[in-house]
Amino acid sequence: MSKQASTAAVQGSNSAEKSHSDKGSRYFQLMLLVLAAGAIYPILYLRQVYQTTMLEVFQINHSELVICTRCSVRFSS
């Protein structure tokens, strides 16, 4: 009986270690997801943020910028 009890205790401690490892892994994955979302979100709005600057630098008007954007979307698809 004592051998079975010690085996059960070892299995219980291994289970606790796995549970702790799983929690750490899940928190790490969550942290990576939050960082990725934080990096992707501003990229989606770069054109809106820098639109006036782009117009001034390239010396174009708003309609020409729209045409350039449509062309780049067509060629990237």
Please state the rounded mean pLDDT for residues 49-73.
Answer: 84
Task: Specify whether 54 is located in the same domain as 75.
Answer: yes
Domain that holds residue 9: 1-40
Task: Specify whether 56 is located in the same domain as 22.
Answer: no
Task: Specify whether 16 is located in the same domain as 36.
Answer: yes
Tokens for 29, please give them: 């994955």
pLDDT tens, position by position, 7-45: 555 555 555 566 667 888 999 999 999 998 888 777 777
Task: Specify whether 32 is located in the same domain as 51.
Answer: no
Task: Specify whether 53 is located in the same domain as 77.
Answer: yes
Task: Specify whether 31 is located in the same domain as 58.
Answer: no
- Distances, alpha carbon 27 to alpha carbons 32, 34, 71, in Å: 9, 11, 42
* pLDDT at residue 57 greater than cutoff 60: yes
- The pTM score is 0.39
Q: Number of folded domains in the chain?
A: 2
